[in-house]
Amino acid sequence: MTTETPSQRTARLAALDHEHVWHPFTPMRQWRQSEPIIIDAAEGDELIDTMGRRYIDGVSSLWCNVHGHRVPEIDAAIRAQLDRVAHSTLLGLGSTPSIEFAARLVQAAQSLAQSRESRRLPPRPPLTRVFYSDSGATATELAIKMAVGFHHHSGRPQRTTIIAFRGAYHGDTVGAMSVGYCETFHRPFETLTFRTVFSPAPDVTSAPEAQDIDWPWHDEALRRVGRDRCLAQFDEALDAHGDTVAAVMIEPLVQGAAGMVTHPEGFLSGVAQLCAARGVPLIADEVAVGFCRTGTLFACEQEGAVPDILCLAKGISGGYLPLAATLCTDRIEQAFEGEPWEHKTLYHGHTYTGNALACAAALTNLDLIERRGTCAAVQRNAAIMAEALGELRDHPHVGDVRQRGVMAGIDLVASRRPRRAFDVKPRLGHAVCAAARPRGLIIRPLGDTVILNPIPAMRADTLERMMRIVIGTIRSFDFEAARC
C-alpha cells in the first residue's frame, strides 16, 4: 500500500474538488484555476490545511464559531448524545435536548426584557415559544410565515406586506431573498420573489455629505442626521401601507452582507417604538449578530428592543452543527391554535428540526458563554481591534472602517476625497484577502470591503497577531499594480 505525501494528497483532493464540488459564493472558473486551501483539521483559533499549514480563523468559519475549534466541552456533549440518539423527528414527538435547549433559550431571552427595565421602558410581551429549523434562511422564512399566518388566523388576511430595510440580507431561499433582495446575488431570481416594501437604512458612507469627510462613520452629527432621516421615512412607509403591513424585519445594529454597515445609536430602538405604536410585529434577524458577536448575547439588548419574533442561527450551536431557532410571543403562537379541522396548524417543518446532536452542542454553547464570560471577552477583543484599525486612518486606499463588537468592515477605495470606488474587475478586496493567507490568516471580502469577524472568544494574543497581519497586508499591498 502506497502512502501519499501531503503534497500528493492535496493534489488528489484538489483535483476531485475541481471535478465535483460547487462552492457557495465562489466564482467557479477562477476557483478551478487556483490551488485551493483544503482544511483538514483545526485547533483552538486556527484552521489547519492538508499541508499542515495553520491559519487564524478570521471569519469564524462564516460567522458561526463562538469558542474556537475542538472545544472539549462541546465535543464531549456531542459524544454523550451519540450514546443516546443522534436524531429523531419532532413531528408528533418530543426530544430531550430540544426541550431542554428551548427552555434555556427562553430563559436567555429574558435579557431583552431586562434591558428594557434598565432603561425604564414599558414592558413588552416576552419571547416564550421556540420553533426549530436548520439555517438562518429557514429561520427568517419561518418568521415571515408566522407573521402572515398570525394575521390571517386573527381575521386580518389583508396583512401580507413585509417592510424591510435596503441593504439587508436575510438568506438565499425565495422568501429570504424577497425581504433581503441583493441585486448582485439575486438578480436572476427576481421574478420568484414576492413584493416587499423597502425603507432606507442609514448608511453614512453613501450619503452625499460624506464625500469630503474622513472616516464618515465616526462623524456623530452625520450619523444622527442619517438616523433621523431614515426613521422619518420608515414612519411614512408605515403610514402609506397602513393595515396591509404584516411585520417589519430588521438586522439589529449591523447589516452584515451589506459590508458591515453599522446603524447609528437609536435607529433600532426608533424602529421598535414605531412598530409598537402601530401594533405591527417586529422581526429581529439576529442570525449574524447574536450570541455575543456585537458585545451582548443578543444585539437587541443594546437598545432595549424586544422583538415579537427573533431569528437565531450561526453561533447558536457554537459553530458545530446546523441549527436555527425562531422565537415568538405567546400571542403569535396562540393564533395557530384550534381544532384540527380548522387547519390553523402551522404546516411547516424540516427533517432535522431540533436535531438532538445540534441541541446538545447548543446547550453546552450557552453554558460556556455564561461560565466563561464570552460577551465580556468580545468587548475586550473589540477594543483590541479598534486600536489596530485606527492605524489605517491615514491609508490613501482605506475609505472607511466600521465596527460593532468583533464585526468590522474595511472599505478599499481608489481615492478618499472625493470618495471613488475601484473598478470591480481587478477584485481588489479578494486580492487583499488572498495576500493575507501566506501570512497565516483566512479572511473574506464583500466586494472591495475586507470583512473581519473573528471568533468572539479568540485569545487576545491570537487576535493581536491577526490584526498585525491585516494591517501589514493592507499597508504592503501594491494597489496601483493590482488595479492595472
Tens-digit pLDDT string for the chain (484 aa): 569 999 999 999 999 999 999 999 999 999 999 999 999 999 999 999 999 999 999 999 999 999 999 999 999 999 999 999 999 999 999 999 999 999 999 999 999 999 999 998 899 999 999 999 999 999 999 999 999 999 999 999 999 999 999 999 999 999 999 999 988 889 999 999 999 999 999 988 877 777 777 778 788 888 999 999 999 999 999 999 989 999 999 999 999 999 999 999 999 999 999 999 999 999 999 999 999 999 999 999 999 999 999 999 999 999 999 999 999 999 999 999 999 999 999 999 999 999 999 999 999 999 999 999 999 999 999 999 999 999 999 999 999 999 999 999 999 999 988 888 999 999 999 999 999 999 999 999 999 999 999 999 999 999 999 999 999 999 999 998 887 6
Report residue 39: phi and psi, to 5°. Answer: -75, 130
Q: The domain spanning residue 258 has which CATH number?
A: 3.40.640.10
Q: State residue 181's pLDDT score.
A: 92
Q: Is residue 99 located within the same domain as residue 223?
A: yes
Q: How many helices (H) and strands (E) does the chain have?
A: 17, 17
CA distance 466 to 389: 11
Q: State residue 212's pLDDT score.
A: 73
Q: State residue 205's pLDDT score.
A: 81
Contact assessment for residue 408 and residue 443, using Cβ atoms and an 8 Å cutoff: no
Q: State residue 337's pLDDT score.
A: 96
Domain boundary among 347, 372, 397: 372
Q: Is residue 400 located within the same domain as residue 358?
A: no
Q: Do the domain assignments include residue 262? A: yes
Number of domains in the chain: 2
Of 235, 237, 245, 283, nearest in space to 151 by CA: 245
Q: Do the domain assignments include residue 103? A: yes
Q: State residue 481's pLDDT score.
A: 85
Contact assessment for residue 223 and residue 129, using Cβ atoms and an 8 Å cutoff: no
CA distance 422 to 5: 42
Q: Do the domain assignments include residue 30? A: no
Q: Is residue 333 located within the same domain as residue 314?
A: yes
Express each pLDDT in 334-367 by its tens digit: 999 999 999 999 999 999 999 999 999 999 999 9
Express each pLDDT in 320-336 by its tens digit: 999 999 999 999 999 99
Q: State residue 219's pLDDT score.
A: 84
Domain span at 191: 79-372
Q: Do the domain assignments include residue 65? A: yes
Burial 222-257 (b: 16+ CB within 10 A, else e): bbebbbeebbeebbebbeebeeebbbbbbbbbbbbb
Q: Is residue 200 located within the same domain as residue 233?
A: yes
CA distance 15 to 437: 21
pTM score, whole prediction = 0.96
Q: Is residue 109 located within the same domain as residue 94?
A: yes
Alpha-carbon radius of gyration of the chain: 23
Q: Do the domain assignments include residue 7? A: no
Q: Is residue 147 located within the same domain as residue 128?
A: yes
Query: Angle at the Cα of 473 (from 467 to 474), degrees rounded to 5?
Result: 95
Q: Is residue 401 located within the same domain as residue 413?
A: yes
Q: State residue 25's pLDDT score.
A: 93
Q: State residue 417's pLDDT score.
A: 80
Of 368, 248, 249, 253, nearest in space to 299 by CA: 253
Q: The domain spanning residue 378 has which CATH number?
A: 3.90.1150.10
Q: Is residue 366 located within the same domain as residue 383?
A: no
Q: State residue 27's pLDDT score.
A: 94
CA distance 227 to 180: 20
Q: Is residue 320 located within the same domain as residue 406?
A: no
Domain boundary among 351, 372, 393: 372
Q: State residue 210's pLDDT score.
A: 74
Express each pLDDT in 173-200 by its tens digit: 999 999 999 888 899 999 999 999 999 9
Q: Is residue 61 located within the same domain as residue 88?
A: no
- Grid coordinates of 293: 458577536
Domain boundary among 348, 372, 396: 372
Q: Is residue 435 located within the same domain as residue 458?
A: yes
Of 298, 312, 311, 318, nearest in space to 358 by CA: 318
Q: Do the domain assignments include residue 105? A: yes
Q: Is residue 383 located within the same domain as residue 366?
A: no
Q: Do the domain assignments include residue 441? A: yes
Q: Do the domain assignments include residue 11? A: no
